[in-house]
Amino acid sequence: MMSNASNIADLTWVEYRHRLAEDDAIVMIPVGALEQHGPHLPLSVDTLLTTEITNRAAARIGALVAPPVAYGCRSQPRSSGGNHFPGTTSLEAGTMTALIRDLINGLARHGVRQIAVINGHLENDAFLSEGIERAMVELHRDGLSDVKVLKMSYFETISPETIDTIWPDGFPGLALEHAAVMETSMMLHVAPGLVHMDRLPDEAPADIPPYDVYPPETGWVPPSGGMSPAHSATAQIGKTLIDEFVTLVAESVGGEFR
Ligand code: ZN
Ligand code: MN
């Protein structure tokens, strides 16, 4: 019996070849990070949430999903707390660029013509673009000029209605949402057994200037690693956000490729 699984790692190569032969095959690649998310969330948050959103979106549009990239680019203090927290295990920009270039090249050379890179870690974004552009240059050079890649960071677009509902006192911005209400709520919806609300500290939000310094200033970041308090996180908020992001990803990828 042929497998209907959408995760390509679960298919035999014969099944995979068969699926690629179907019209309009799409392969989606979730990209996350292994990174501290405060004392209450696991290191896998960016990978776990991105993979879940990608899987749900893929199911809606009949796309295939590649195994996630579970490591991300160097965490910056202003947006994710920085690299000084044990467990935040980052890739250099060049490593990520080469990795995503290789994945695009490999998929395309076996016949994939529509690839969607779905990102869940802020610092990855520019280096994913760079890796995709390098793959496109190499594919064009080799005569494969009909490959199209979509890249999106799923968290970048939240509707004004959802922002007003979840943050009635004003949205603090994506950087301060690291390990805060947004990610904690989504984790409560998707993987509540991995969330430890009883370990949340009473801390003020991070107070960060509008620039970076090198070497990094670890004192800008609250000691727990969370950028702002997550006490008001709920599974219901998480469901609202996950549903919205799944729809956004499915409509973006489906709209571009279908
Ligand atoms: Zn995160
Ligand atoms: Mn991150």
pLDDT in tens, the chain (258 residues): 666 679 999 999 999 999 999 878 999 999 999 999 999 999 999 999 999 999 999 999 999 999 999 999 999 999 999 999 999 999 999 999 999 999 999 999 999 999 999 999 999 999 999 999 999 999 999 999 999 999 999 999 999 999 999 999 889 888 899 999 999 999 999 999 999 999 999 999 998 999 999 999 999 999 999 999 999 999 999 999 999 999 999 999 999 998
Distance 198 CA to ligand 1 centre (A): 19
Looking at residue 135, its amino acid is A
Which pLDDT does position 220 carry in this prediction?
A: 92
Compute CA 7 distance to the chain's CA centroid, rounded to the nearest angstrom. Answer: 17
Question: Does the annotation count 183 as an active-site position?
Answer: yes
110 catalytic, yes or no?
A: no
pLDDT at position 22: 84
With tokens 């009635």, the residue in question is 168
Between CA 60 and CA 258 the distance in angstroms is: 12
CA of 46 to the centre of ligand 1 (A): 5
Q: Is 121 a catalytic residue?
A: yes
Check if 138 is active-site.
no
Q: Which ligand is nearest to the CA of 37?
A: 1
33: number of CA atoms within 13 Å, CB side?
30
Residue 18 known to be catalytic: no
Task: Name beta bridge partners: 28.
Answer: 65, 116
140 is catalytic: no
Ligand 1 centre distance from Cα of residue 225 (Å)? 11
Residues with CB under 5 A from ligand 2 (ion): 33, 35, 46, 80, 121
For residue 165, report the distance from its CA to the centre of ligand 2, in Å. 24
Asked if residue 3 lies in contact with residue 18, where contact means CB atoms within 8 angstroms, the answer is: no
Q: Which residues surround ligand 1, an ion (CB under 5 A)?
A: 45-46
- Among all bound ligands, the one having the nearest atom to the CA of 76 is 2
Catalytic residue among 40, 46, 52, 189: 46
Q: What is the pLDDT of residue 1?
A: 60
